[in-house]
Amino acid sequence: MARRLIRALCLACAVGLLLACEEVSSQDGDSEAPQTDADGFEAVITGSYEGAVSGNGVLRLLPDAGFENQGYWFLADGQGVRAHGVTFVLPRTVGPGRHTLESPSALDIGTVPSVRVDRDMGDSTVSSDRNASGFLDLTAFPDDERNVRGADVTGTFVFETENRAGDTIQVEGQFSFRAD
């Protein structure tokens, strides 16, 4: 049990570090690259507070994350500090289709599709990740984790979740980008 608690703490630190990293964008000027239908990641937040999410989109495989080192996908609007952010943690085996979003226990992170919404409050970040319910519809997702770079990542989502105080928000959005 102590080992699982240590892994949970390490996982929380790893996700925090990943979110804090500055986004590195490759701008090689290749105008021949095919374009997707939309550009980036967008969402609208309503409920106990309102806001907009907008970013380039980020997809990362964390191959050894999780309590049994099963690995999982990290899908988000962006990285680093931002006014509002949406982050999905998806099982390593996820693919195109409809996925029910949940609020897993700390031991189950990465084994079921889950979501978190962050709101920057200046000197702190408020996360809403409790009692999540809704759907993530993936229409394009890498089918080979060894060849993620350049893969199309597209989908839509609609869900509801709460912060630690029980305040509820609803989020609806879409994303379409090429993984880097």
Residue 101 pLDDT greater than 80, yes or no? yes
Counting every residue written for the chain, the total comes to 180
104 occurs within a structural domain: yes
Is residue 163, in this structure, part of any structural domain at all?
Answer: yes
Q: Which residue has the higher pLDDT, 12 or 141?
A: 141
pLDDT at 81: 82
Instruction: Confirm whether 116 is domain-assigned.
Output: yes
Domain that holds residue 87: 2-21+41-178
Check whether 90 has a pLDDT greater than 90: yes
Q: Which tens digit of pLDDT belongs to each residue from 104-155?
A: 888 889 999 999 999 998 888 888 999 999 999 999 999 988 889 999 999 9
More confident residue, 34 or 139: 139
Q: Is residue 86 part of a domain?
A: yes
pLDDT(50) > 90: yes
Q: How many CB atoms lie within 10 A of CB 151?
A: 17
Give the chain's domain count: 1
E-strand ranges in 84-151 read 84-91, 97-101, 114-120, 125-140
Q: Per-residue pLDDT tens for 64-77?
A: 988 788 899 999 99
Residue 91 has what pLDDT? Answer: 95
Residue 28 lies in a domain: no
Give domain status of residue 35, yes or no: no
Q: Structure pTM?
A: 0.78
Give domain status of residue 164, yes or no.
yes
The closest of 123, 130, 116 to 77, measured between CA atoms, is: 116
Q: Which residue has the higher pLDDT, 19 or 79?
A: 79
